[in-house]
Amino acid sequence: MPGLIQRIKQFARSPQGRRTIGEARRAASDPRRRAQAQRLLSRLRSRR
């Protein structure tokens, strides 16, 4: 059974993984999405 990292690499090389990575890059370049992600991360960090 492949490890988690190996499975992530395998997914990233697949067509679906490449599509997902492209969508994430486009979302990250949008200033509103970037701010939304920063708010979410700060909320998650503050819970610990």
- Give the distance from CA 7 to its chain's centroid: 15
pTM of the predicted structure, to 2 decimals: 0.59
Q: Supply 25's token pair.
A: 């890059």
The predicted pLDDT at position 47 comes to 74
Residue 30 has phi, psi (to 5 degrees) of: -80, 120
Q: Quote the CA–CA distance of 48 and 44 in Å, as a whole number.
A: 7
pLDDT digits (tens, 9 = 90+) for 1-48: 679 999 999 999 999 999 999 999 998 899 999 999 899 999 999 875
